[in-house]
Amino acid sequence: MPTNEQRRETAKRKLERQLERRAAQERKRRLFTIIGSAAGVVLVIGAVVATVILTSKDSDTQASADTPSPTSAAEPTPPPGGSGLPPFVAPADLGADCQYPASQGEPASKKNNPPRSGKVPTEPAQISASMETSAGNLGLQLDNAKAPCTVNSFASLAQQGYFNDTPCHRLTTSPGLSVLQCGDPTGKGTGGPGYGFVNEYPTNQYRPDDPALQSPVIYPRGTLAMANTGAPGSNGSQFFLVFKDSQLPPNYTAFGTIDATGLATLDKIAAGGVVPGDRGADDGAPKTPVQIKSLQLD
Protein backbone atom coordinates (compact mmCIF):
# COMPACT_ATOMS: atom_id res chain seq x y z
CA MET A 1 0.00 0.00 0.00
CA PRO A 2 1.46 3.40 -0.96
CA THR A 3 2.48 5.73 1.86
CA ASN A 4 1.08 9.25 2.27
CA GLU A 5 4.36 10.62 0.93
CA GLN A 6 4.13 8.44 -2.18
CA ARG A 7 0.52 9.52 -2.76
CA ARG A 8 1.51 13.17 -2.45
CA GLU A 9 4.36 12.71 -4.93
CA THR A 10 2.02 10.95 -7.39
CA ALA A 11 -0.54 13.74 -7.11
CA LYS A 12 2.18 16.35 -7.54
CA ARG A 13 3.49 14.74 -10.74
CA LYS A 14 -0.06 14.46 -12.11
CA LEU A 15 -0.68 18.16 -11.44
CA GLU A 16 2.61 19.13 -13.10
CA ARG A 17 1.68 17.15 -16.22
CA GLN A 18 -1.72 18.81 -16.33
CA LEU A 19 -0.16 22.27 -16.00
CA GLU A 20 2.33 21.49 -18.78
CA ARG A 21 -0.47 20.33 -21.09
CA ARG A 22 -2.52 23.41 -20.34
CA ALA A 23 0.46 25.69 -20.96
CA ALA A 24 1.18 24.00 -24.29
CA GLN A 25 -2.46 24.33 -25.34
CA GLU A 26 -2.49 27.98 -24.34
CA ARG A 27 0.69 28.73 -26.29
CA LYS A 28 -0.70 27.02 -29.38
CA ARG A 29 -3.96 28.96 -29.06
CA ARG A 30 -2.18 32.30 -28.83
CA LEU A 31 0.19 31.88 -31.76
CA PHE A 32 -0.53 33.82 -34.97
CA THR A 33 1.01 32.43 -38.17
CA ILE A 34 2.98 34.57 -40.70
CA ILE A 35 6.24 35.18 -42.52
CA GLY A 36 5.70 32.89 -44.94
CA SER A 37 2.41 33.40 -43.23
CA ALA A 38 0.98 36.69 -42.02
CA ALA A 39 0.89 39.58 -39.61
CA GLY A 40 -0.94 39.85 -36.33
CA VAL A 41 -2.02 42.50 -33.91
CA VAL A 42 -0.87 42.17 -30.31
CA LEU A 43 -2.16 44.10 -27.27
CA VAL A 44 0.79 45.39 -25.28
CA ILE A 45 0.22 47.43 -22.11
CA GLY A 46 -3.16 48.56 -23.32
CA ALA A 47 -1.93 49.68 -26.74
CA VAL A 48 -2.52 47.89 -30.00
CA VAL A 49 0.86 46.99 -31.53
CA ALA A 50 1.25 45.51 -35.03
CA THR A 51 3.37 42.38 -34.65
CA VAL A 52 4.20 39.94 -37.42
CA ILE A 53 5.16 36.40 -36.50
CA LEU A 54 7.69 34.73 -38.73
CA THR A 55 6.73 31.34 -40.04
CA SER A 56 7.98 29.01 -42.67
CA LYS A 57 4.52 28.38 -44.16
CA ASP A 58 3.07 31.08 -46.42
CA SER A 59 0.06 28.82 -46.94
CA ASP A 60 -0.96 29.58 -43.31
CA THR A 61 -1.55 33.27 -44.09
CA GLN A 62 -4.20 34.97 -41.97
CA ALA A 63 -4.03 38.77 -42.37
CA SER A 64 -1.53 41.60 -42.70
CA ALA A 65 -1.21 44.71 -40.58
CA ASP A 66 -1.31 47.95 -42.59
CA THR A 67 1.99 49.62 -41.72
CA PRO A 68 4.14 52.31 -43.40
CA SER A 69 7.52 51.75 -45.00
CA PRO A 70 10.59 51.97 -42.73
CA THR A 71 13.67 54.07 -43.00
CA SER A 72 17.13 52.51 -43.17
CA ALA A 73 18.60 54.47 -40.27
CA ALA A 74 21.73 52.98 -38.76
CA GLU A 75 20.17 53.11 -35.29
CA PRO A 76 16.41 52.58 -35.76
CA THR A 77 13.95 53.47 -33.03
CA PRO A 78 12.58 50.31 -31.36
CA PRO A 79 8.86 49.65 -31.82
CA PRO A 80 6.62 50.50 -28.86
CA GLY A 81 6.40 47.90 -26.09
CA GLY A 82 8.60 44.91 -25.52
CA SER A 83 12.27 44.84 -24.64
CA GLY A 84 15.47 43.37 -26.01
CA LEU A 85 16.32 39.69 -26.03
CA PRO A 86 16.81 38.24 -22.54
CA PRO A 87 20.31 37.67 -21.14
CA PHE A 88 21.64 34.29 -22.19
CA VAL A 89 21.94 31.64 -19.50
CA ALA A 90 23.25 28.34 -20.84
CA PRO A 91 20.84 25.46 -20.16
CA ALA A 92 22.42 22.44 -18.50
CA ASP A 93 21.64 20.29 -21.55
CA LEU A 94 22.78 22.80 -24.22
CA GLY A 95 23.77 20.83 -27.32
CA ALA A 96 23.53 17.53 -25.44
CA ASP A 97 20.90 15.89 -27.62
CA CYS A 98 20.17 17.59 -30.95
CA GLN A 99 17.47 15.73 -32.88
CA TYR A 100 16.24 16.28 -36.45
CA PRO A 101 13.24 14.02 -37.03
CA ALA A 102 11.72 13.77 -40.49
CA SER A 103 8.81 16.13 -41.17
CA GLN A 104 5.61 14.14 -41.60
CA GLY A 105 4.19 14.53 -45.10
CA GLU A 106 6.70 17.23 -46.00
CA PRO A 107 9.51 15.93 -48.20
CA ALA A 108 12.67 17.93 -48.67
CA SER A 109 12.35 20.78 -51.18
CA LYS A 110 15.95 20.19 -52.22
CA LYS A 111 18.02 17.06 -51.74
CA ASN A 112 20.10 16.99 -48.55
CA ASN A 113 21.26 14.73 -45.77
CA PRO A 114 20.03 15.60 -42.26
CA PRO A 115 22.74 16.81 -39.87
CA ARG A 116 24.27 14.51 -37.32
CA SER A 117 22.10 14.09 -34.24
CA GLY A 118 22.99 13.62 -30.58
CA LYS A 119 25.60 15.68 -28.76
CA VAL A 120 27.13 18.54 -30.76
CA PRO A 121 29.96 20.82 -29.61
CA THR A 122 29.38 24.40 -28.45
CA GLU A 123 32.94 25.33 -29.43
CA PRO A 124 34.04 27.29 -31.29
CA ALA A 125 31.63 29.84 -29.87
CA GLN A 126 31.41 31.69 -33.20
CA ILE A 127 31.47 30.33 -36.75
CA SER A 128 31.87 32.70 -39.70
CA ALA A 129 29.84 32.32 -42.89
CA SER A 130 29.58 34.27 -46.14
CA MET A 131 26.34 34.78 -48.03
CA GLU A 132 26.71 36.05 -51.59
CA THR A 133 23.50 37.34 -53.14
CA SER A 134 22.49 39.06 -56.35
CA ALA A 135 22.01 42.25 -54.31
CA GLY A 136 25.34 42.14 -52.48
CA ASN A 137 27.28 40.20 -49.88
CA LEU A 138 26.46 39.48 -46.25
CA GLY A 139 28.91 38.35 -43.60
CA LEU A 140 27.37 36.20 -40.89
CA GLN A 141 28.56 35.14 -37.44
CA LEU A 142 26.82 31.95 -36.29
CA ASP A 143 26.39 31.81 -32.51
CA ASN A 144 27.32 28.22 -31.76
CA ALA A 145 27.64 28.88 -28.04
CA LYS A 146 23.97 29.88 -27.74
CA ALA A 147 22.23 27.76 -30.40
CA PRO A 148 24.40 24.73 -31.24
CA CYS A 149 21.58 22.52 -32.58
CA THR A 150 20.45 25.32 -34.91
CA VAL A 151 23.98 26.16 -36.07
CA ASN A 152 24.65 22.44 -36.60
CA SER A 153 21.70 22.27 -39.02
CA PHE A 154 22.43 25.57 -40.77
CA ALA A 155 26.11 24.68 -41.23
CA SER A 156 25.23 21.22 -42.54
CA LEU A 157 22.86 22.63 -45.14
CA ALA A 158 25.37 25.32 -46.15
CA GLN A 159 28.13 22.75 -46.60
CA GLN A 160 25.85 20.70 -48.86
CA GLY A 161 25.06 23.73 -51.05
CA TYR A 162 21.40 23.63 -50.03
CA PHE A 163 21.05 27.43 -49.99
CA ASN A 164 22.93 28.03 -53.23
CA ASP A 165 20.84 29.35 -56.13
CA THR A 166 17.74 29.84 -53.99
CA PRO A 167 15.61 33.02 -53.62
CA CYS A 168 14.90 35.23 -50.64
CA HIS A 169 11.16 35.10 -51.09
CA ARG A 170 9.81 37.61 -48.60
CA LEU A 171 10.52 41.16 -47.48
CA THR A 172 8.65 42.89 -44.67
CA THR A 173 9.20 46.62 -44.12
CA SER A 174 6.74 47.64 -41.40
CA PRO A 175 7.85 49.65 -38.33
CA GLY A 176 7.26 46.62 -36.09
CA LEU A 177 8.82 44.00 -38.34
CA SER A 178 11.61 44.66 -40.83
CA VAL A 179 13.17 41.47 -42.15
CA LEU A 180 14.22 39.60 -45.27
CA GLN A 181 13.31 35.89 -45.27
CA CYS A 182 15.28 33.27 -47.17
CA GLY A 183 16.05 29.55 -47.11
CA ASP A 184 13.16 28.08 -49.11
CA PRO A 185 14.36 26.51 -52.38
CA THR A 186 10.80 26.67 -53.78
CA GLY A 187 10.54 30.44 -53.29
CA LYS A 188 6.93 29.99 -52.16
CA GLY A 189 7.45 30.15 -48.41
CA THR A 190 6.36 26.54 -47.88
CA GLY A 191 9.57 24.59 -48.50
CA GLY A 192 12.06 23.02 -46.14
CA PRO A 193 14.75 20.36 -45.71
CA GLY A 194 12.38 17.51 -44.85
CA TYR A 195 13.21 17.53 -41.13
CA GLY A 196 12.53 19.75 -38.12
CA PHE A 197 14.06 20.66 -34.78
CA VAL A 198 13.19 22.54 -31.61
CA ASN A 199 13.81 26.16 -30.62
CA GLU A 200 16.86 27.29 -28.70
CA TYR A 201 17.77 30.83 -27.54
CA PRO A 202 15.80 32.90 -26.55
CA THR A 203 12.89 30.45 -26.18
CA ASN A 204 14.86 28.26 -23.78
CA GLN A 205 15.42 31.19 -21.42
CA TYR A 206 11.77 30.94 -20.31
CA ARG A 207 9.79 28.32 -18.42
CA PRO A 208 7.09 26.71 -20.59
CA ASP A 209 4.42 28.14 -18.27
CA ASP A 210 5.95 31.64 -18.12
CA PRO A 211 3.50 34.29 -19.48
CA ALA A 212 6.53 36.30 -20.64
CA LEU A 213 7.06 33.69 -23.34
CA GLN A 214 4.06 35.20 -25.13
CA SER A 215 5.08 38.84 -24.62
CA PRO A 216 6.88 40.67 -27.45
CA VAL A 217 10.59 41.36 -27.23
CA ILE A 218 12.90 43.22 -29.59
CA TYR A 219 14.98 41.22 -32.05
CA PRO A 220 17.70 43.83 -32.69
CA ARG A 221 18.88 45.05 -36.06
CA GLY A 222 21.57 42.66 -37.26
CA THR A 223 19.97 39.49 -35.84
CA LEU A 224 19.94 36.22 -37.80
CA ALA A 225 17.05 33.99 -36.70
CA MET A 226 15.01 30.94 -37.71
CA ALA A 227 11.48 31.08 -39.10
CA ASN A 228 9.00 28.41 -38.01
CA THR A 229 5.32 27.54 -38.27
CA GLY A 230 4.58 28.15 -34.61
CA ALA A 231 4.31 24.42 -33.92
CA PRO A 232 6.90 22.75 -31.66
CA GLY A 233 9.91 21.39 -33.55
CA SER A 234 9.01 23.17 -36.80
CA ASN A 235 12.35 24.87 -37.53
CA GLY A 236 13.74 23.80 -40.88
CA SER A 237 15.79 25.71 -43.43
CA GLN A 238 13.99 29.08 -43.58
CA PHE A 239 15.66 31.97 -41.77
CA PHE A 240 15.22 35.72 -41.54
CA LEU A 241 17.63 38.64 -41.41
CA VAL A 242 16.62 41.63 -39.27
CA PHE A 243 17.55 45.02 -40.76
CA LYS A 244 15.58 47.15 -38.27
CA ASP A 245 14.69 46.41 -34.65
CA SER A 246 11.67 44.09 -34.83
CA GLN A 247 9.05 43.12 -32.30
CA LEU A 248 8.14 39.45 -31.91
CA PRO A 249 7.38 36.95 -29.17
CA PRO A 250 10.60 35.12 -28.21
CA ASN A 251 9.64 32.00 -30.15
CA TYR A 252 12.22 32.30 -32.93
CA THR A 253 15.75 31.02 -32.43
CA ALA A 254 18.35 33.79 -32.74
CA PHE A 255 21.47 32.00 -33.92
CA GLY A 256 23.76 34.67 -35.29
CA THR A 257 24.47 38.23 -36.35
CA ILE A 258 24.96 40.13 -39.61
CA ASP A 259 28.02 42.32 -40.27
CA ALA A 260 28.02 45.96 -41.39
CA THR A 261 28.42 45.03 -45.05
CA GLY A 262 25.45 42.70 -44.80
CA LEU A 263 23.30 45.35 -43.13
CA ALA A 264 24.14 47.79 -45.91
CA THR A 265 23.03 45.14 -48.42
CA LEU A 266 19.78 44.60 -46.52
CA ASP A 267 19.12 48.36 -46.35
CA LYS A 268 19.55 48.54 -50.13
CA ILE A 269 17.12 45.66 -50.64
CA ALA A 270 14.58 47.29 -48.31
CA ALA A 271 14.92 50.65 -50.06
CA GLY A 272 13.98 48.91 -53.32
CA GLY A 273 10.54 48.23 -51.89
CA VAL A 274 8.05 45.38 -51.71
CA VAL A 275 5.81 43.91 -54.39
CA PRO A 276 2.30 44.63 -53.00
CA GLY A 277 0.33 41.47 -52.33
CA ASP A 278 -2.60 40.15 -50.36
CA ARG A 279 -0.67 40.79 -47.13
CA GLY A 280 -0.39 44.53 -47.80
CA ALA A 281 1.98 47.04 -49.32
CA ASP A 282 4.83 46.33 -46.90
CA ASP A 283 4.82 42.54 -46.87
CA GLY A 284 5.61 40.49 -49.96
CA ALA A 285 8.38 39.62 -52.39
CA PRO A 286 11.20 42.15 -52.72
CA LYS A 287 10.75 44.39 -55.77
CA THR A 288 14.37 43.74 -56.61
CA PRO A 289 14.60 39.92 -56.77
CA VAL A 290 17.17 38.57 -54.34
CA GLN A 291 18.92 35.31 -55.17
CA ILE A 292 21.42 33.57 -52.91
CA LYS A 293 24.34 32.72 -55.17
CA SER A 294 26.24 30.89 -52.45
CA LEU A 295 26.21 30.48 -48.69
CA GLN A 296 29.29 28.84 -47.23
CA LEU A 297 31.27 28.60 -44.02
CA ASP A 298 34.50 30.62 -43.93
Q: What pLDDT, in 10s, does the model give residues 189-204?
A: 999 999 999 999 999 9
Domains of the chain (ranges; CATH) run: 31-297 (2.40.100.10)
Residue 3 has pLDDT above 80, yes or no: no
pLDDT of residue 165: 98
Asked if residue 78 lies in contact with residue 246, where contact means CB atoms within 8 angstroms, the answer is no
Minimum mean pLDDT range among 58-72, 257-271, 283-297: 58-72
Q: Whole-angstrom Cα distance, residue 153 to residue 108? A: 14
pLDDT of residue 60: 36
Residue 19 has pLDDT above 60, yes or no: no
pLDDT of residue 280: 83
**Percent of the chain scored above 90 by pLDDT?**
67
pLDDT of residue 81: 46
pLDDT tier at 44, thresholds 50, 70, 90: very low
Residue 40 has pLDDT above 70, yes or no: no
Minimum mean pLDDT range among 82-86, 128-132, 239-243: 82-86
Minimum mean pLDDT range among 65-74, 159-168, 187-196: 65-74
